[in-house]
Amino acid sequence: MKKSLILLIALLFGFGLVFSSCVTTDTQVVPPNEKNFMQPKVTLASFEIPQYDGYWYFAKSVKPTKGDAGDRGAMLPMSFLFNIENRNAYPILLNGITFTVMFDKDFGVVTYNNQDEYWIPAGKTDQVRATTLITARSALLSLMVTGGFKLKEKGWNPWQALERWWKGVPEGTVPVDLADCSFSFSAGAITKAYPFKIQAQ
């Protein structure tokens, strides 16, 4: 009886060592290097306008009901949710996102730049949200400085463009693209920046 018990304990202990060695082998961290680093896959999961207060603009000559007079325009916040798929056998660090929001293919209205850091686990897909904001005033100034020729080609004036965008972007009838889009990743001593072409709507 005692011999059987001793034998059973020995077998269980042996199985424990085998399973332990298997687990250690399976979860062993693969060190990152130039040869095994795989480009992450970035896709846009969703695009939304988190808050919409319509289209409006007041010149500084207009007396407000409350507050100070000034050139003021409606806000248009935009939120982009990205899927980041890490196809590597080790975690990677997302440490930079840049892109320019384009309306109607040709008009850059705001540039987003963020160096917040997010760890993406090995073999997993995580989500990162980027939210930016423009106002009718800032878009108007941008159009007057850089968009003159493009507006002329389309036969629009700045006010027509603003109204089109502030009504059409929330409705999904105006094309929204991300130009000069780049995501930067690090793993160990490796740092890579990849360009992406993304259409929001």
Rounded average pLDDT over 66-71: 93
pLDDT of residue 146: 83
Q: Is 29 left (phi over 0), alpha (psi -120 to 50) or beta?
A: beta
Residue 158 tokens, joined: 């700045």
pLDDT of residue 65: 92
- The pLDDT tens digits for 95-146 are 999 999 999 999 999 999 999 999 999 999 999 999 999 999 999 999 988 8
Q: Which residue has the higher pLDDT, 146 or 84?
A: 84
- Quote the mean pLDDT of the chain: 88
Q: State how far the Cα of 70 lies from the Cα of 41, in Å rounded to an integer.
A: 45
Rounded average pLDDT over 4-27: 47
Identify the CA nearest to 184 among candidates 130, 91, 117: 117
pLDDT of residue 157: 93
- The pLDDT tens digits for 179-190 are 999 999 999 999
Q: Which residue has the higher pLDDT, 130 or 148?
A: 130
Q: Is the pLDDT of residue 34 over 70?
A: yes
Please compute Rg for the chain using Cα positions: 27
pLDDT of residue 9: 52
Query: Which CATH architecture describes the domain 41-199?
Result: Sandwich (2.60)
Count CB neighbours of 113 within 10 A: 12
Domain ranges of the chain: 41-199
Contact call for residues 144 and 169 (beta carbons, < 8 A):
no
Q: State how far the Cα of 60 lies from the Cα of 71, in Å rounded to an integer.
A: 5
pTM equals 0.82
Q: Phi then psi for 108, rounded to 5 degrees?
A: -80, 120
HSE-up of residue 155 (Cα within 13 Å, Cβ side):
0
Sign of the dihedral defined by the CA atoms of residues 107, 110, 113, 118, in that order: negative
